[in-house]
Structure formats: C-alpha cells, structure tokens
Amino acid sequence: MKKIILLAAIGLFSTHAMAMESYSSKSLSCSTVHEKVAKEGSIVLKYPSSKVAGMNMYYRTVSNSTACLGQGGMANASVPTSDDPKCKIKTCSFATGKGPNKNH
C-alpha cells in the first residue's frame, strides 16, 4: 500500500512539474530567479546551451529538498541570467550529489 501511495505522489508531482511554465533565465536577474523560487517553491528555467547553437537547456530550480521528493537530492548548479553569467541555483539530481553537468 505504501508503494502505491508513493507512486501516486510521484506521478502527481511529475505531472505538476511537466505543466509548469518555464522562464527564460537570460530575461531575469539572478535576484528575480531567487525571488520566484522562494515564492513558488520550484520553477523551470530555460537557457541557451553553450555547446550546441540554437539548443535550449532546462533546469528545474528548487527552494528546498522537499521539492526533490522522488527526484534525488538537492544539488548546486548555475544558469546565465541578465546580470550574472553563473547565477547559483539549487536543482534535484539523482547523480553523485554534485549536481548535473554544468558545462552545457
């Protein structure tokens, strides 16, 4: 029964995350990114890849580890914003805890 409840919670959470609006990180200041994350709990940031021209990359930025339920642990990452090329954010990662590949 616990597995069913956990799977249902993860399913609802995943559906919510897919329906989230994404924000272009380059159109926001770093402080605005942090304000939106604090207010909404998590947001999706879209930014241009530094490796592949014309390709967009996405991070789901979170305010705390509770937002990572079923999606690994919190990890550090950075995104380019209008005022900071390496605005520090928190994201969820199943990897080593060192965050996703930061060389996009």
Average of per-residue pLDDT across 62-91: 92
- Please state the pTM of the whole predicted model: 0.69
Question: Do 88 and 104 meet the contact criterion of CB atoms below 8 Å apart?
Answer: no
pLDDT band at 93 (very low <50, low <70, confident <90, very high): confident
pLDDT tens per residue, range 10-19: 554 444 445 6
Spell out the domain ranges in the chain.
2-93
